Structure 1
Amino acid sequence: MKKRFASLWFRHLKTDWMTVGQPQLKEIPFVLAISTHGKLIANACNVLAEQEGVYPGLAIADAKAFLPSLKVVNERPGLTEKLLYNIAHWCIRYTPLVAIDLPEGIILDISGCAHLWGGEESYLQHIVSRFKHHGYDVRVGIADTIGSAWAIARFGNGNTIVETDKQFDAILDLPAQALRLEATVLQRLQSLGLKTIGSFARMPRTALRRRFGKHLVLRLDQAIGDEDEFIVSIKPIFPYEERLPCLEPICTANGIELALQQLLNNICKRLTGEGKGVREAVLQCHRVDGKIEQISIGTNRATAYQQHLFQLFALKIPQIEPALGIELFILEIPKVEEADPVQEKLWSHRIGLDNPVVTELLDRLKSRDPACEISRYLPAAHYWPERSMKMASSAQEVPTVDWQIDRPRPTRLLSIPEPIMVTAPIPDYPPLLFRYKGEVHTVKKADGPERIEREWWIDKGEHRDYYAVEDEKGRRFWLYRSGHYDDRAPNQWFLHGFFA
């Protein structure tokens, strides 16, 4: 695909920004000034000030001498960089590849993007009209190379589109300044009467390099496409991204859902073809007022199942505030993984969670309540109850040992055993009664004792004698006595778990 670039030049960037915030400045000449060597210098001028002869670099005292009505505003440090950074992020609605071009420009890599707006002419007009609506004067040049687009935007006839492979002819009549050259090189060219690019562009490169240095040759070759030039985007580029511009602003939840379905359909087809699935996804909604609404989802396992991903997003669509409308939707997939073939098993102690129905349920529960913590446990190679299981790192982690199923174990195990008061007839018998949280339970059935010794290589302490008991209401508990019976230590009994 042929590369295409758009160069945006904001001729009055800082003064336009001032006028947007203070509309009364639109009717008076004013400048933004900086202090240099103890005196104020004009650093940016609005259109009215320029028409009166004020220009950047002019001393404020001199400007005031012939224009007493000139308003002077102190410039904020770092204002240019901040404005261009914000504008560049706003321009992401037009392409994912946006770079800042100091001091007054933005570069867009629009390769493969313009057709979404109906072609480059509509694309250019949309950019210009939107910035004009926001109060900014911008000139745009579109060409095959960054250099020619930059030159056309600043020295061409208004907003210009250079046809593919026509950049050489397009820049021949432009002044030498259009090649982004140093002042010393420009002075040398001027002294020799080489005022336009066409006056030296066809000269042998060796002669140009010898007379004017390699930088002129580099800039000339970059402009005509003989030398590559790249931009550094302000935003990481995700290989999986879909964009959907809207002919009319979207203001309803139903419209957002339709746009999301189309984006998911495109991205899921691509992922399925590559054997990959989504682990994280972000939906950006660019509003007409320049603000961005964003929602994101995550999955427990890689999936390219469109309906499941839509259901996760649907839970968060009410969080989106469209305001005056959304004009662009961007679906980014920052994290993808290889998607394993679906296996016909639900639970397996050797395979893990492979059934998509279960993992999709977990995803929906997590999306509905971000504070919800869903954990999976695997058997561990320990006899001591608190250490007999461990938390799995993922739904697909494979256990290294089997669950011990030869002895009864409670469905719910307390992380910290809770002390209870019991009445037991003789040392090795289960209790007849026990009190737990103020309630007295009468034991009707019991099984035990099961002695579990401490793992001496890990810690020291008493053994435990466990009993599985059932009370008068059919509720089943897992109790234990710590150490040997001692009538002088009544608080030896603990409740450690509950059976189903």
Structure 2
Amino acid sequence: MLWACLWLPQLALDAVLRRLPDPEIPLALISGPAQLRNLHAVNGQAAQAGLRAGMRLTAAHALQPDLAMVEYEPQAEAHWQRFLAAWAYRHSSLVSAQWSGCLLVEVRASFQLLGPWPRIEQRLREELTALGFSHRIAMAPTPRAARVFAGLRDGLATQQVPAMRDLLDKVPIRRAVLPGDAGERLHRMGVRDLRGLRGLPRDALRRRFGGELLDHLDALYGDREDHLSYYAPPDYFDARVELGHEVESHLALLFPLRRLIGDLCTYLSIRDGGVQRFVLRLEHEGGHTDVDVGLLAAEREPALLFELTRNRLERVSIAKPVVALRLLARELPPFVPASRDLFDQRPQQGMPWPQLRERLRARLGDKAVYQVTPATDPRPERAWRRLQGDAPPMQDAPARPPRPAWLLPHPVPLRDTRVRILSGPERLESGWWDGEDARRDYYVLETSQGQHAWAFAPPGEQGGWMLHGWFA
């Protein structure tokens, strides 16, 4: 196996920055008790002002009075690590988020599908950058070695075990990610690198540091198998964004909404599936408002889903200020891409019918777009019915003579006295079972102005025409 370590040095900070419209403002994550607040992490702009992690909040305010602050939440950091594990699952079936702040991805099995390691590494970097997370990447034959190399130098990679062992022997003891405080204690004892550590008697190390250190060394060098817990993607999507302030306009919700839709589509691509129904929840103080988004077919195109959700959102009145957005999707059916010709002649600005249909439904309402399918009733006013969604039209409808494209809502008298019969009669007798008995002889008539009319008269008569439709 070959393991890639994706080290995320400021995961919690990036998770906050990616949801801000202006990520360039000085910002810090704060933690600690109320009487002793300190900075947990700072972004680049805050660091340029002299702020650093571990600084007291009072000293930070003295250097940067307009510092933006967000409470550090360990559970939020774990949530985003699981989110990135789900993203990495699209590149490999073996992904581990066992260690905080990094992901381990088995990549050898992906070489035949995604190409050699440089191409996979470039793809990982591009997608992580697009998602808004800073990172360092390294690769090695063992997961622990990849983790150590990622902390040493970004881009360090080796595929051979002997080369990996030689590189590990030169790793400083305090940067070998040893369990607990073993690295610092060994450094005080005069041990400077892993080569010196491996030269010490194992029994003495076991008595002083316990068996965990020796197990770590064996797994690091590949002398024993490293038992990792692997990520398994859930069967639903649930993401939430706190806005940090009260929002009362639709426009201010579009930036976090775009992020949520992008995260949803990333999750869908992992599952190789689509979404057909989801809920955008606008959270208020003491309640929430749900915006239901339903599609006729499964989709996963970010631009389309964002446009549809925005149209639905703009039709909702925001009665109370919004403090958070939450997106829940539990119906995740398989996604079937639309079939396309090899030499597609569709104009560049054209739009496929499924996407156009969904936009029309979002703008005009769910009931405004429908199919028309024939029914079994021969009466013209009941010979068709509306069909919602992608359900196939009725296949057992009886064949009928040509019908006019323009059918009047109700028959009206035909005032023209100079008509010529082109075809007919077509006798219709139906409706005796529901109290709306219809007995008519239908004809195709040509009026004095050359129009083709569809009219009927009582059975056996030719006159007193009742106009029911026009042919094109």
- TM-score normalised by the chain length of structure 2: 0.49
- TM-score normalised by the chain length of structure 1: 0.47
Of structures 1 and 2, the larger Rg is shown by: 1
